Amino acid sequence: MSTLFVGDSHVNRLRTRVGTEHPSSIVFNIAGLPRVSFYGISGGLVSNNKHLSIITAAVRQRRSRHVIACIGGNDLDTSDPGWDPEILITRLVTFLSQLKNCFNLRKVTILSFFFPRERNRHVSPETYRQRTVEANQLLSDLCAQHHLKFWKLRGFTDSSHPILCDGVHLNEYGMNKLLRQLRGVLLSQQ
């Protein structure tokens, strides 16, 4: 089953790191793994209709049977006094449910929010951390209700090694951790 990994700049950076010269079965060390492609939008936001339209077009074009989504972290970094995690998570889950139905996807997996950002534009790292915990709980609950797979990423917040290169994005060590997590997602689909 071919897979499309969609999301924000983390997906973009992973696409660049993985490249296209090696088959997915070698990149993820899974024999017979069909193609895994990547489509990320730098600064990707669930709250931006244009970004969701671009992701929809990527899903339509790639015709994958499985979509893995890593988006929404930028939406947690807002100073909007009306920010509500329930609105964000409901919008994300609704969007991905619609993609699943519209394109007859066999599986949609949503990765948890996981980065312990050291630097934000609008909120403190502590506020971001609190929002991450709250959003993940809502995401887990709503995914179960909508028959979407919630995948909790582990090992990022308690890593003994630095995982960020600029306070927001993954360094080489962090990228390797994310690749191992994606391998777990892909193995669970076999």
pLDDT tens digits, the chain, 190 residues: what are they? 799 999 999 999 999 888 877 789 898 999 999 999 999 999 999 999 999 999 999 999 999 999 999 999 899 988 888 889 999 999 999 999 999 999 999 999 999 997 667 777 788 888 888 999 999 999 999 999 999 999 999 888 777 787 788 778 888 888 889 999 999 999 997 7
Alpha-carbon span 136 to 112, nearest angstrom: 6
Alpha-carbon span 104 to 66, nearest angstrom: 10
Cβ atoms of 89 and 138 closer than 8 Å: yes
Q: Residue 107 pairs with which residues in a beta bridge?
A: 66
Phi and psi based region of residue 29 (left: phi greater than 0; alpha: psi -120 to 50; beta: remaining): left
Q: What is the 3-state secondary structure (H, E, C) of the chain?
A: CCEEEEECHHHHHHHHHHCCCCCHHHHCCCCCCCCEEEEECCCCCCCCHHHHHHHHHHHHHHCCCEEEEECCCHHHCCCCCCCCHHHHHHHHHHHHHHHHHHCCCCEEEEECCCCCCCCCCCCCHHHHHHHHHHHHHHHHHHHHHCCCEEECCCCCCCCCCCCECCCCCECHHHHHHHHHHHHHHHHHCC
Q: How is residue 124 written in tokens?
A: 């403190």
Q: What are phi and psi of 111, to 5 degrees?
A: -80, 145
Cβ atoms of 83 and 122 closer than 8 Å: no
pLDDT of residue 128: 87
pLDDT of residue 170: 84
Whole-prediction pTM value? Answer: 0.92
pLDDT of residue 115: 67
Q: Which residue has the tokens 């990149």?
A: 27
Cβ atoms of 7 and 70 closer than 8 Å: yes
